[in-house]
Amino acid sequence: MDAERKQVVIVGGGFGGLEAAKALDGVDAAVTLIDRANYHLFQPLLYQVAMAGLSPADIASPIRGILADEPNVRVVLGDVTRVDLESRRIFVGDEPVAYDWLVLAVGAQTSYFGHDAWEAHAPGLKHIEDALEIRRRVLLAFERAEREPDAHARRKLLTFIVIGGGPTGVELAGAIAELGHYVLGRDFRSIDPREAKVVLIEAGPRILPSFSTSLGQSAVEQLQELGAEVRTGLRVVDIDAAGVDLESASSADGEASKRERIDSATVVWAAGVKANGLAQKLGVPTDKQGRVIVEDDCSLPGTPEVFAIGDMARFEEKGNVLPGVSPVAMQQARYVGKIIRWEVESVGRPPREPFSYFDKGSMATIGRSRAIAEARGVKMRGFIAWLAWLFIHIWYLIGFRNRVAVLLTWAWSYLSYKRGARLITSTGWKPESKP
Amino acid sequence: MDAERKQVVIVGGGFGGLEAAKALDGVDAAVTLIDRANYHLFQPLLYQVAMAGLSPADIASPIRGILADEPNVRVVLGDVTRVDLESRRIFVGDEPVAYDWLVLAVGAQTSYFGHDAWEAHAPGLKHIEDALEIRRRVLLAFERAEREPDAHARRKLLTFIVIGGGPTGVELAGAIAELGHYVLGRDFRSIDPREAKVVLIEAGPRILPSFSTSLGQSAVEQLQELGAEVRTGLRVVDIDAAGVDLESASSADGEASKRERIDSATVVWAAGVKANGLAQKLGVPTDKQGRVIVEDDCSLPGTPEVFAIGDMARFEEKGNVLPGVSPVAMQQARYVGKIIRWEVESVGRPPREPFSYFDKGSMATIGRSRAIAEARGVKMRGFIAWLAWLFIHIWYLIGFRNRVAVLLTWAWSYLSYKRGARLITSTGWKPESKP
């Protein structure tokens, strides 16, 4: 490395880290971006890989390729094990890397709220390997049902449970229902995949609580049109290889809670995330989800040269904690990039304006041609919301080839009701291997 | 299953098995196709998955989807563990399946000629998991080289050895050379991927011995243009994690053979195949490569209702053993399908004409826009051979969506020198897990 130049280190190649690297294009400093994976993952479409609609390469782009035109940015594939705020060094494996500014953007991971044993039976959806594992389990369940003579066992194989009624859970439930009802329809001889039962479980009183009530209700109706069941007010008590134990949330009038069991061979977890483990190792205060509590300039308390952005950070603005969505990470990245550029080019450290989030709205899709969307008071549902969703997601997909490939793949599956990526492959997925 | 109807069982969803199922479309019998995978793999393009040019879904199609329009064909995902020729039953796991006619088309697997320990250091290229593992190793070698300060270690990381000078070996060597020289060119900061050294090792006196001498020489020159080295007359003595030990084949004039060592972090094995293990379990004579020696009607000796076709069978025609290529398997499948159809519809067993192979020619590709092809005396080389190769391979790719997707993906990488599928993911690959 160039000892003369200032060093900026970015950890994480997600929406935040990548946007920070781009914001530092051409700055007179050596920028190093470090990630454990060699690709940027477009997470909003990961459920499509899980549901065999897309291939991993459609939604993932090599980070080196994305940053090839920025000669001041160096990309390192490696695992950041430790940050030494005192000596201003991070460690990639055992190798120290010095920084003048550090941008941490390591994101979040699936959280089982202390029940780590559930992971083996109910994978979450954070990595490509997760998506391929969920794909494998869902497709394999149909295959096993086709060969299963016993009616009860077949029923269990054709019951799919999605836990968590946020956008990811809704997208997964809709997509599994669609897979059974439309895609696999004619492919089997002994079973009718349309008999597949999809149950979406939410502990709270309603799904999609971040949307307005009427849109949440519309999502329920759209899920029901696809044949999925929505169950709210049910808390997960246990998950094993054969199903899920549930308990009704105790009602206000002191009614005793009821236990319930749903047999299912395939359970998917979309109920919670926590910050990546690196956040815990910084020695600064974190919240219940393990997120670093940052200042109003996204920096760590008392450490103005170190920033934490995106899902790993807890940023409070006017009493609201910003949600863990990609626009927050990207806006914070551009803000932080601007600060660093300013400080590289200045003498001393000029005063910083606080970060402010501009909320463009949010959306969730429910299978083919169904969705809800809400932006600054405007509500959309059904086909028009789905078109908006499609347009925005294709637009933000990184890499020209990916956009074209994804659009064509979707056009093909939309018109033909076929899915090319319905491959059952071994995935290298191991619960304990997860970060 | 329908007890009244005659039962035809096909084992294997490769070129042979699938073509046999199609040849039996509408026949008055229940046809069951059994495969361990839920997809048909277009193996001629598997090296493109290994080299990050294509995604698995581009070259693999769900078998159920391909056969959805044939209501008399039932697809079973399962592992055939045993064949009982006496009682006319096969076993899927422990479950017996009775047949009146049986078509075995289980193909071949990588052979290390008794050196199974080499597999861990030099994966072969037969399954999707193999291809993703080779992709992972090749891309990871460049990543590690980028971070490696020691010149010798960097040299080792940037040396790639392909063992076996048949079409697969030539395709892999050409593609790795191309990856280093063109695709990754601008992506790294510390290393120049153009320094990558690719060595193709062949034990025999020349590569591509199934082609004429002049085309083999042309292939050598085309490989050299891409920067790959071709070394013939070198036998592999040992493979470990750090490289390969070689011995020059002893010369005719009794000269002592010389030992040589090439350090390399990435070795790929394309030197040999043997029949799938099921061939050994039939209790009928096999050849040195474990292939079932079949009669001139592709049936097992003394068992006219059981056929073995494709790579698992040794078929001799006029003193020549037919090669292990897909046209042989497909022509045998259509021939066997015709016999079975005839016998289902006849009373008794009419006499059979012997199978005869029509050789349409063969081709091998060497990176982008280079190839050789030979068909009935006509020889092609360079760009025109590559166009012919492209046209034929796209033509035979199963599934409209795959053809369009592959063509567009290639057009994109051809024009942009970019490869979208350059993802390093864990692959679930384990040497001992292989069949």
pLDDT reading at B424 higher than 80: yes
Q: Is B407 on the interface with A (CB under 8 A)?
A: no
Q: Lowest mean pLDDT: which of A101-105, A276-280, A410-414? A: A410-414
* Range of lowest pLDDT (A128-132, B197-201, B248-252, B302-306): B248-252
> Among A117-131, A165-179, B79-93, B383-397, which stretch is predicted with the lowest mean pLDDT?
B383-397
Name every chain A residue with its beta carbon within 8 A of the beta carbon of B65. Answer: 187, 418, 422
B143 contact residues in A (CB cutoff 8 A): 38, 77
Q: What is the average pLDDT across B386-395?
A: 87
Top residue of B32, B33, B129, B189 to mutate, by most chain A CBs within 10 Å, is B189
B72 lies within 8 A of chain A by CB: no
Contact flag B57-A139 (C-beta cutoff 8 Å):
no
User: DSSP letter at A324?
Assistant: S
Minimum mean pLDDT range among A234-238, A350-354, B76-80, B314-318: A350-354
Asked if A333 and A23 count as a contact pair (C-beta separation under 8 A), the reply is yes
Q: Does B242 touch chain A (CB under 8 A)?
A: no
In the chain, the amino acid numbered B293 is I
Q: What is the mean pLDDT of residues A33-42?
A: 95
- The pTM for the full model equals 0.90
Average pLDDT (B293-318) is 97
Q: Looking at residues A395-402, what average pLDDT do you find? A: 75
A412 pLDDT higher than 60: yes
Q: In what order do the strands lie in the sheet with A234-240?
A: A234-240, A243-248, A259-263
Instruction: Test A55 with B60 for CB contact under 8 angstroms.
Output: no
pLDDT value, residue B400 = 65
The three-state secondary structure class of A171 is helix
- Residue A398, chain B, CB below 8 Å: the answer is no
How far is Cα A210 from Cα B407, in angstroms, rounded to an integer? 42
Q: Can you read off the two tokens belonging to residue B154?
A: 């960097």
Residue A394 token pair: 């294709």
Q: Inform me whether the C-beta atom of residue B245 falls under 8 Å from chain A C-beta atoms.
A: no
Highest mean pLDDT among A192-196, A395-399, B160-164: B160-164
Pick from A122-126, A145-149, A416-420, B97-101: least confident:
A416-420
Q: Are B53 and B184 in contact (CB under 8 A)?
A: no
Tens of pLDDT, residues A166-180: 999 999 999 999 988
What pLDDT does A306 receive? Answer: 98
Are the C-beta atoms of B2 and B100 separated by less than 8 Å?
Answer: no
Q: Is the pLDDT of residue B433 over 60?
A: no
Using the predicted structure, report yes or no on whether residue B252 has a pLDDT greater than 70. Answer: no
- The residue-averaged pLDDT of B174-197 equals 88
Residue B258, pLDDT above cutoff 90: no
Chain A, chain B: beta-carbon pairs less than 8 Å apart: 158
Q: Which of A275-289, A294-308, B390-404 has the lowest mean pLDDT?
A: B390-404
Interchain contact B60–A (C-beta under 8 A): yes
Per-residue pLDDT at A250: 65
Quick check: B149 contacting A, CB < 8 Å?
no
pLDDT at A253: 62
DSSP code for A44: G
Closest approach of B2 to chain A, Cα-based (Å)? 12
Contact call for B429 and A433, based on CB within 8 A: no
Packing angle, helices B383-396 and B400-416, rounded to 10: 150
Task: For residue B423, give the nearest of A57, A401, A425 by CB distance.
Answer: A57
Q: Given pLDDT bands bounded at 50, 70 and 90, which one contains residue A400?
A: low
The predicted model gives B365-374 an average pLDDT of 89
Measured between beta carbons, which residues in chain B are less than 8 angstroms from residue A404?
408, 412
Cβ of A425 and B428 within 8 Å?
yes
ipTM surpassing 0.90, yes or no?
no
Contacts of B39 in chain A (CB under 8 A): 422-424
Active site members of B: 171
Distance from the first to the final alpha carbon of chain A: 29
Residues 6+ apart with CB under 8 A from B407: B394
For residue A360, pLDDT beyond 50 = yes
Which residues does chain A have within 8 Å of residue B62's beta carbon, measured at their own beta carbons? 187, 419, 422-423
Cα–Cα dist B16/B308, whole Å: 10
Residues 14-33 of B with CB under 8 A from A: none
Which candidate in A41, A54, A55, A130 is best for mutational testing of the B interface (most B CBs within 10 A)? A55
Question: Which residues of chain A neighbour B187 with C-beta distances below 8 Å?
Answer: 62, 64-65, 68, 75
pLDDT, residue B253, reads: 62
- Nearest CA-CA partner of A102 in A16, A1, A26: A16
Cβ–Cβ below 8 Å for A39 and B423: yes
The reported pLDDT for the residue numbered A379 is 93
Per-residue pLDDT band for B434 (boundaries 50, 70, 90) equals: very low
Query: Tokens at residue A291, please?
Result: 């997120």
Q: What residues does A313 pair with on adjacent strands? A: A292
Interface contact flag, A409 B401, Cβ < 8 Å: yes
pLDDT in tens, A219-262: 999 999 999 999 999 999 999 999 999 999 765 566 667 899 99
Residue A252 confidence (pLDDT): 58
Is residue A326 scored above 90 in pLDDT? yes
Q: Is the pLDDT of residue A2 over 60?
A: no
| Mean pLDDT, rounded, of chain B | 91
The answer to whether the Cβ–Cβ distance between B146 and A428 falls below 8 Å is no
pLDDT of residue A434: 44
Cβ contact A56–B401 (<8 Å): no
Q: Cβ of A411 under 8 Å from any chain B Cβ?
A: no
What band does B38 get if pLDDT is binned at 50, 70 and 90?
very high
Kindly state the percentage of chain B with pLDDT values over 70: 96
B chain contacts of residue A142, beta-carbon cutoff 8 Å: none
Among partner residues A68, A76, A405, which is closest to B409 by beta-carbon distance? A405
Confidence bin at A264 (pLDDT 50/70/90): very high
Q: DSSP string covering B113-159, please? A: TT-GGGGGTS--SSSHHHHHHHHHHHHHHHHHHHH---HHHHHHHTE
Instruction: Scan residues 177-236 of B and list those with Cβ closer than 8 Å to A.
Output: 184, 186-190
What pLDDT score does B384 carry? Answer: 92
pLDDT tens track for B393-413: 888 887 767 787 788 777 777
Q: Where are the beta strands (DSSP E) in A241-288?
A: 243-248, 259-263, 266-269, 273-275
